[in-house]
A and B are shown apart, each in its own frame.
Chain A
Amino acid sequence: MAVPDIFKQRSQSENWDLNNASTIQSNTTVEADVIIIGTGAGGGVTAEVLSQAGLKVVMIEEGGLKTSDDFNMNEIEAYGDLYQEGAGRSTKDGAFSIFQGRTVGGTTVVNWTSSFRTPTSTLEHWTDVHGVKGFSAAEMKPYFEQMEKRLNVEKWKMAPNANNDILKRGCEKNNWSWAVIPRNVAGCWDLGYCGTGCPTNAKQSMLVTTVPEALKNGGSLYYNCSADRLIFSNNKVESVECLALGKDGKTPTGVKLSFKAKHIVLSGGGINNPGLLLRSNAPDPHNRIGKNTTIHPVNANVAKMPDTVNAFYGAPQSIYSDQFQWPADGEMGFKLEVPPMQPTMGGQILGFHGFRLIDTMKDLPNLQATIALLRDGFTEQSQGGSIELDPSGKPILDYPLTDYIWKGLRKAHHAMAELQFAAGANQVMPLHHDAKFYKTLAECKTAIDNLPQEIHRERLLTAHIMGGCAMGEDERTSVINSDCRFHHAENLSIIDGSAFPTSIGANPQLSVYGLALKQASKLAKQLTNS
C-alpha cells in the first residue's frame, strides 16, 4: 500500500472501461474496430499501437485482473492467481512443467524481466529457411529500439545478486563469455519477486504500460472472458464467441459474449492461439495450425556454495552466458542463466521426500541454481511439439524429446557443473531423479554421463512457449504470412510469440514486443486507410 497501485488509480481518474465478465448477467454483443484476444506481450503492444491510431480496440483476457495491491510476494497465491492452470500446466506426457501467465498483462506480469533482442542468427534463419520477409536485423532494429525506450529496457546497473554473480564468476574462471542482462524495469527495488507479480510497479509489464495506454485511448477490457470460438464465414472471422467465467476464474457462468469487429487479432500465446483455431475448425488445408511449437527446454543444476547465496532475493536474472549458444558442430545450442529460488519453486523441483528432502532444503540459503535454455526448432532433429485438443476442447502440448535434445540436455548438465565447480561450489547436483550431490567435477561428470535419459527422471520445465502459428510466405509450411496475417481469412492477424518459426535462443519477451510493434504499426495504417 505504501506503493500506489497505479492501475487502480488511473482506472478511476481516467475512467477506463473495465468489464469483469463474471458479473455480466445476460448475453451481450460488443462491437469495435479491432478485437484483441490476449493482453500479454503481443496483445498489449498491439492494443497500444492500434488505439494510438484512433481505432476502437477491445481487449479480451481469460485471466483475472490483478494489480500491484494483489502482488504480495506470496508464491502460492501468485501461482494460483496469475499462471495458466495455477502453474500446474504440463506437456501431454507430463515431462515438462509449463510456466505461462494467465492474467491481465499475460506472462509479462510474472516473467523475470530479461529483455533480449532477437539474435541476428535467428532472424537470418527465419529469412533463409522459413522465407520470412522483413525480419532482417536492420529492418527489426528500429522496432527493438522503440520498445526498449518504451519499456525502459537497460542493462542492469546494480550489482548482480550472489546467484547471478556465481554464474559470472564461473564464466570468468572458465574463460567463457558472459554479459549483463537488459531488464524492463523503472525504479526497481531489487527484490527478487518478479515471478509473483511486481509489488512496486517497477517492472514495465503490459499491465502498467501498454494496456493502460490503450484504455486511456478509449479501449475496453473484458477479463474473466474466455475466447471459445471464432466464427468463420465468407473468408472472414465474423465474430468471436466468448464464455464469461465465474468468480472462481474457471467455471463458465453461462453468459455468452459475442464480439464483432472489422479486424481480429489473436495474442493468446503458443498454446491458446492454436487451441482456439483448432476448436473453431479454422481453415487449415495443410494441417499447419499448432505445429512446430518450440519451448526452450530447460534443465538445471543445483550447487551447494560455501557462502550464503540467498537466491530468493535480488533481481532474479542479471547475468547470462551465450558461450554454448551457437556451436559450430551443429549440436544443440543453449543459453545459461539462473532462476530465483523461493522455497515453493525450490522445494518442488528437487524430487526428494523425507529426510533427503529436508537435508537439501535446509541449505536453501546456500543453494545456487543454474539453468540451461536449449534452442529448439532449428534442425531436422528438433522440430518442436504440436498442439492438440483434449476431449473438453482445451489445448495440450505434445512435445517429443529427440536424441538430439537429450544430447543437448546432457551437454548442458556438463557445462553447468563445470561452471558451478569453477565458481567454488562445494557440491553439485544435476536436477535428475537419479542424481545426488557430487563433491568433485570428475565425479559429477561421470554421473551425468550415466544418468538415464528418460522423461519423468530428467527434471524439465519451460517458460517460453513459441510457434504453433508460424510466419512464412508458403502456406504449406506456415499459418500466417510475414505480416502476421492468417493465410485463410481476410481479417485475422496472429501477433505474439506463436508467430515465431523457431525458438528465439533468448528469453523471448523483447522479440514479441518488436514483432508486435512492427506488425501492429502496419496493421494500423491498413485499417485507418480502408
Chain B
Amino acid sequence: MNRRSFLKLSATGSAALAAVGATASLSGCSETLPENGQWRVLRSQDRIMLAAIAPVMLKGSLPAEPTANKAGVDTIIATIDEALFKLDAHNTKQISDLFTLLTFGLTRGLATGVWSKWENASEAEIENFLNSWRESSIGLLTLGYNGLNKLMCATWFGQKEAWGAVGYPGPPYADILITKKSV
C-alpha cells in the first residue's frame, strides 16, 4: 500500500469507526449468543475474524505445522473469550465496537482494506491491515491495533506451547509447587 492510499484508508477508517454503531445495529446483523453455550462473549463472526487475524499477528510465534497452528489459534480464541468476559461495561463496549467494525462487511472493507470475507482474506491483505492500523495517525485505529495485539499476544505467550520459541523454561519447581486440580 502506498502512502496516499494508506492516508485515505485512515480517514475512511476513522469515519467508519464513528458510524459503526448505528450501521451495525440497523443492519440487524448482531448475533445473540445462546445462554449456557460454550461462548460467553465471542459471536461466530468474531471467532471467524480472530481465526483469520491471529495467524498473521503471531506469524512465526505460532507453530508453522498446520494442525498445531490451528490448535494454537483455537486456544487463543477460547482464552480471549474468557478474558473479554472479565471486562466491565466500558471496555466491553470498546471491544464490541471494534469487533462490530471488523465483522460488518462494509465497515471492514472501509476501515481495514480487507474486502473479502475474513475466511477468504489473504495473508497479505491481513498483514496490510495490521501494518496500516499500527502505523495510522488516527488514535482510534492505533487503539484498535493495540487491543487486538495485546489480546492475541497475552493469550498466546501464556500457553505452554509458546514457551519453547521464546526460551522460557516455565515456572520453577513445578513438580512441587503446582497443585494439580482435582477434577
Contact = CB atoms under 8 A, between A and B. Distances in A.
A390 B88 contact: yes
Contacts of B44: none
B153 interface: yes
Interface string A354-376: 11011101111100000000000
Nearest to A90: B91
A73 B175 CA distance: 12
Given A76-B155, A191-B173, A390-B88, A433 B142 contact: yes
Contacts of B147: 94
A530 interface: no
B177 A353 contact: no
B163 A343 contact: yes
Contacts of A526: none
Contacts, number: 159
Interface stretch (B19-27, B77-85, B106-114): B77-85
A88 B86 contact: yes
A343 B171 CA distance: 11
Interface string B121-156: 000000100100010000100110011011001111
A320 to B, nearest CB: 24
A390 B89 contact: yes
A313 B172 CA distance: 8
A86 interface: yes
B130 A92 contact: no
Nearest to B79: A76
A200 interface: yes
Contacts of A347: 153-154, 156-157, 166
Given A191-B177, A347-B154, 11 more contacts: A74-B178, A76-B155, A86-B82, A90-B91, A94-B146, A191-B172, A343-B163, A353-B56, A353-B58, A355-B59, A396-B90
B165 A361 contact: yes
B61 interface: yes
Nearest to B156: A347
A455 B143 CA distance: 9
Nearest to B178: A72
Interface string B40-83: 00000000000000001111110000000000000000010011
Contacts of B127: 354
A185 B133 CA distance: 45
A347 B176 CA distance: 27
Nearest to A76: B158
Given A75-B158, A248-B85, A361-B165, A88 B59 contact: no
A348 B157 contact: yes
Contact of A357 (B60, B79, B89): B60
Interface of B: 56-61, 79, 82-91, 93-94, 127, 130, 134, 139, 142-143, 146-147, 149-150, 153-159, 162-163, 165-168, 171-174, 176-180
Given A348-B154, A351-B146, A353-B56, A86 B83 contact: yes
Contact of A350 (B89, B139, B143, B153): B153
Contacts of B83: 79-80, 86, 88
A433 B145 CA distance: 11
A410 interface: no
Contact of A69 (B150, B172, B179): B179
Interface of A: 1-3, 69-70, 72-76, 79-80, 85-86, 88-90, 92, 94, 97, 189, 191-193, 199-200, 248, 250, 312-313, 342-344, 346-348, 350-355, 357-359, 361-365, 390-392, 394, 396, 433, 454-457
B172 A454 contact: no
With a 10 A CB-CB cut-off, give which of A3, A73, A191, A193 has the most chain B CB atoms. Answer: A73
Contacts of B171: 72-74, 191, 193
Nearest to A359: B60
A94 B91 CA distance: 9
B89 A353 contact: no
Contacts of A200: 177
B53 to A, nearest CB: 9
A359 to B, nearest CB: 8
Given A353-B56, A353-B57, A88 B158 contact: no
Nearest to A388: B90
